[in-house]
Amino acid sequence: MKKYIALLRGINVSGQKLIKMTELKGHLEELNFKNVLTYIQSGNIIFEIEKTDTTILAIKIVEKIKEKYGWELPVIVKSETEWDFLFNNNPFITQKNLDIERLYVTFLGNQPSQILLNDFFKIDYSPEAFIINGNELYVFCPIGYGSTKFNNNYIEAKLKVKATTRNWKTIIKLQTLLGI
């Protein structure tokens, strides 16, 4: 059995797309996911299953949610190995005097085109800073994520990919729950 993390976008926000985590856990167990564990109400799920492609797992979760609730939402799945890599390779962590309360990771559904990335990098986002590494966008928001235009909707519009963001505290907690 391999461990995976699924990140759901846009559930339980402002009374929209409500899913109780106990229900979600049950729905995922219907997919033969084992040892399903949810963390907070924003759609962070750890589970085990025989080694499977993360794209296939994301599609299964999307389809199950559509079957049970009638709507679709973006789901990004990371293997334990992928998660450990992104956790240990945050380029902002090595910077001195950086407030980790201001660190985020935006998970991209797939790799954006180079043309869109080039256009994206031309924009001055100061005081925010970001570094892209594969399908992760490491973000530093010194004035706070709630005050930035650099949110999921903006990133999706600019890069033409699905995205969901987690703060660094959540990343740390999920790493701990994975047990790695």
CA distance 145 to 139: 9
CATH 3.40.50.150 fits 84-178, yes or no: no
Q: Note down pLDDT in tens along the chain; length 180 residues.
A: 999 999 988 675 655 666 788 888 998 999 999 999 988 877 899 999 998 899 999 999 999 989 988 888 889 999 999 999 999 999 998 887 778 889 999 999 999 999 999 999 899 888 889 999 989 999 999 888 887 878 888 999 999 999 999 999 999 999 999 987
CA–CA separation, 37 and 50 (whole Å): 16
**Residues ≥6 apart with Cβ < 8 Å to 168:** 90, 100, 101, 103, 104, 105
Q: Where are the domains of the chain?
A: 2-80, 84-178
Joined tokens for residue 86: 């992104």
Which is the CATH superfamily of the domain at 2-80?
SP0830-like domains (3.30.70.1280)
- Quote the pTM value: 0.91
Domains 2-80 and 84-178 share a fold: yes
Q: List, in sequence order, every residue forming a beta bridge with 106; answer none if it has no partner.
A: 137, 165
